[in-house]
Amino acid sequence: MKFNRTAVDPVMGGKNSLQIVLLTTMLLFGSVPATLGGSQLAQTEENMKAMGITVDSHEKNGITELTFNDEGDNTKTLAALMLLRQHDIVSRDVTETQTRRAPVFWASIVATVLTAGYIQAFYADSGKIDRVKAIFNLRAADDYGRVQNNRLFSFSFNRALYKEIAWDNFRWDKFPKVAPQFELSEWAQKQMSEEQAGDELKLPGSGD
């Protein structure tokens, strides 16, 4: 996939992925939703829930499986991107027209930021958990208007990697590169190819 790199390169402004999750929620809703117990993970889950994303977790064969489900509300995705743009976290070269023309691509950008922030909080609050497998699902309509869950991307993670990352300086766009087995689904690649015909954008980790 060919994309104009300047369209997606963020200017982080000294904020890590978890801080971006918090800032985005505050910008969208004017305040941070109340948390249960006040833990970093509970706060992050509440913030993501406010943006229409839920996280299911269960244990299987010693591996924690996480499933992120995005309701696919393009209005929230667009609002989040425009607010992050205003605060120089996403490049100001990103336009509203670009986001409307490529909803799956830009949803994947938001999903990557939020997922990186969640993983940081997850390991910070879950002292005994080591290996994780994760899937991010996006609700979207097919060519016939039928709305269904579609896998956007998947990846694995582990505690050693969590400890290795300097989270205060970590750029969200490096997440697809450092997360083991990070893979865009065939559905996502097909949707992006259709959206981006003639455009020049690039999702980190998707190849040239």
Any domain includes 207: no
Number of domains in the chain: 1
pLDDT for position 111: 85
Which residue range forms the structural domain that includes residue 105?
5-195
Three-state DSSP at 203 gives coil
Predicted pLDDT at 82: 74
Whether 166 is covered by a domain: the verdict is: yes
Q: Is 98 contained in some domain?
A: yes
Query: What pLDDT, in 10s, does the model give residues 36-51?
Result: 345 778 878 887 887 7
Does residue 52 form part of some domain? Answer: yes
DSSP 98: H
Query: Is 122 inside a domain boundary?
Result: yes
Confidence of residue 156 (pLDDT cuts 50, 70, 90): very high
> Is 202 part of any domain?
no
- Tell me, yes or no, if the pTM score tops 0.85: no
pLDDT in tens, 50-86: 778 889 999 998 999 999 998 766 677 677 777 767 7
On whether residue 188 sits in a domain, the answer given is yes
Is residue 204, in this structure, part of any structural domain at all?
no
Q: Exposed (0-12), middle (13-18) or buried (19+): which is 112, by Cβ within 10 Å?
A: buried
pLDDT at 167: 85
Provide the residue count of the chain.
208
